[in-house]
């Protein structure tokens, strides 16, 4: 289970007249259950990546906590990360190593024995339907092949929790479907707690058991897709999202832009 409570982060860039204060995440709170897929849905710049980076101990929060299976990430990062798989958008594979070597190497970094990491790579190759890739160098892999390899690498230590930052970025329709299928399997067969960020409504509708809508750095709504539809009185999820995530001025500006084209 992943739990975020009152999480906040402000970035300060530049100095003097160039000084800018960006409140990226403001008191964000949500819970992601085991055996469920939770989607963080928000427009560009809403604070999704910053939130997930705090969950992954890559950034420290100014206030609030992120907990992984009850372990506070900022206080016990190693124990929390042992229970967390992280797939960031930078896939960061070693091109000269095969997919198997990339996965096993990551397992070694996680403190696994070689034999265990090798066995786990084989298992994940079956679950993620990527066995033919295992002995190829990752140099030249397609986006979808890279994504599968990176996902296997993130899962090598068999973490009960997984976070993925915009995992379908750059994937074509078949690779996106394959990823969705893989995430469903990890939820249904292994009971994982899965959290992913996206700004794509269809992905959320097709995949998510729970949706957290983030806008302007804060949580504006959460629930199932039918609950969010009922709450906004909409039958179309895109309309529901727009009414939750944008204020009147933003909606009017977007409508003006559409009319002008
Ligand atoms: N290292 C940083 N320094 C300064 N500002 C930052 C930094 N990282 C993020 N921000 C700002 O924080 C805000 C939230 O960014 P974030 O990347 O978390 O949004 P996001 O919801 O993931 O957006 P997207 O869907 O566009 O990736 C943005 O205004 C962004 O410019």
Q: Determine contact, residues 73/80, Cβ cutoff 8 Å.
A: yes
Q: Which residue has the tokens 């960020």?
A: 197
The CA 99 to ligand 1 mean position distance, Å, reads 31
Strands of 15-147, DSSP E: 20-32, 36-41, 63-68, 71-72, 84-87
Q: Collapsing DSSP states into helix, strand and coil, what is residue 87?
A: strand
Q: Does the beta carbon of 24 lie inside 6 Å of ligand 1? A: yes
Q: Which residue has the tokens 């394959």?
A: 178
Q: If you take atom 11 of ligand 1, which residue's CA is the nearest one?
A: 24
Q: Determine contact, residues 25/54, Cβ cutoff 8 Å.
A: yes
Q: Does the beta carbon of 18 lie inside 6 Å of ligand 1? A: no
pLDDT at 260: 47
Q: Does the beta carbon of 94 lie inside 6 Å of ligand 1? A: no
Edge-first strand order for the sheet with 84-87 is: 84-87, 161-165, 193-198, 36-41, 210-215, 218-223
ipTM of the complex in this document: 0.96
Q: If you take atom 26 of ligand 1, which residue's CA is the nearest one?
A: 44
φ and ψ at 111, to 5 degrees? 90, 15
Q: Does the beta carbon of 13 lie inside 6 Å of ligand 1? A: yes
pLDDT at 257: 59
**Domain-wise residue ranges, the chain:** 2-92+162-255
Q: If you take atom 7 of ligand 1, which residue's CA is the nearest one?
A: 11
Specify the DSSP class assigned to residue 35. Answer: T
* CATH architecture of structural domain 2-92+162-255: 3-Layer(aba) Sandwich (3.40)
Q: Does the beta carbon of 199 lie inside 6 Å of ligand 1? A: yes
Q: Collapsing DSSP states into helix, strand and coil, what is residue 154?
A: helix
Specify the DSSP class assigned to residue 136. Answer: S
Please calculate the CA angle 6-8-12 and round it to the nearest 5 degrees.
Answer: 170
Spatial separation of the C-alpha atoms in residues 16 and 50, rounded to whole Å? 25
The CA 133 to ligand 1 mean position distance, Å, reads 34
Spatial separation of the C-alpha atoms in residues 153 and 139, rounded to whole Å? 16
Q: Determine contact, residues 194/159, Cβ cutoff 8 Å.
A: no
pTM: 0.90
- Please name the residues in contact with 82: beta carbons below 8 A apart, sequence gap of 6 or more: 110, 157, 159
Q: Determine contact, residues 63/54, Cβ cutoff 8 Å.
A: no
The CA 169 to ligand 1 mean position distance, Å, reads 16
Q: 192 is written with which tokens?
A: 């994982």
Spatial separation of the C-alpha atoms in residues 97 and 60, rounded to whole Å? 32
φ and ψ at 238, to 5 degrees? -60, -45
The CA 168 to ligand 1 mean position distance, Å, reads 18
- Provide the residue-wise pLDDT of the chain in tens; the chain has 261 residues: 999 999 999 999 988 888 999 999 999 999 999 999 999 999 989 999 999 999 999 999 999 999 999 999 999 999 999 999 998 765 689 999 999 999 999 999 989 999 999 999 999 998 888 899 999 999 999 888 888 899 999 999 999 999 999 988 878 888 888 889 989 999 999 899 999 999 888 889 999 999 999 999 999 999 999 999 999 999 999 999 999 988 877 777 777 655 444
Spatial separation of the C-alpha atoms in residues 48 and 84, rounded to whole Å? 17
The CA 23 to ligand 1 mean position distance, Å, reads 9
């Amino acid at each position: 289970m992943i739990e975020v409570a009152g999480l906040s982060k402000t970035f300060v860039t530049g100095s003097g007249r160039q000084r800018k204060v960006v409140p990226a995440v403001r008191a964000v709170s949500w819970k992601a259950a085991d055996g469920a897929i939770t989607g963080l849905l928000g427009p560009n710049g809403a604070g999704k990546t910053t939130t997930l980076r705090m969950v992954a101990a890559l950034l420290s929060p100014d206030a609030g906590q992120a907990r992984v299976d009850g372990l506070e990430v900022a206080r016990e990062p190693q124990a929390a990360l042992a229970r967390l798989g992280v797939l960031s958008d930078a896939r960061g594979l070693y091109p000269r190593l095969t997919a198997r070597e990339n996965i096993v190497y990551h397992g070694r970094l996680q403190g696994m024995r070689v034999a265990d990491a090798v066995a786990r790579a084989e298992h994940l190759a079956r679950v993620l339907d990527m066995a033919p890739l295992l002995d190829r160098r990752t140099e030249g892999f397609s986006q979808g092949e890279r994504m599968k390899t990176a996902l296997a690498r993130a899962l090598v230590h068999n973490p009960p929790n997984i976070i993925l930052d915009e995992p379908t970025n750059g994937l074509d329709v078949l690779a996106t479907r394959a990823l969705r299928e893989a995430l469903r399997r990890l939820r249904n067969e292994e009971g994982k707690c899965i959290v992913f960020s996206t700004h794509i409504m269809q992905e959320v509708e097709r995949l998510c058991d729970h949706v957290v809508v983030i806008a302007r750095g804060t949580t504006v709504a959460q629930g199932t897709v039918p609950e969010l539809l009922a709450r906004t009185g909409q039958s179309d999820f895109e309309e529901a999202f727009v009414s939750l995530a944008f204020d009147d001025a933003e909606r009017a500006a977007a409508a003006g832009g559409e009319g002008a084209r």
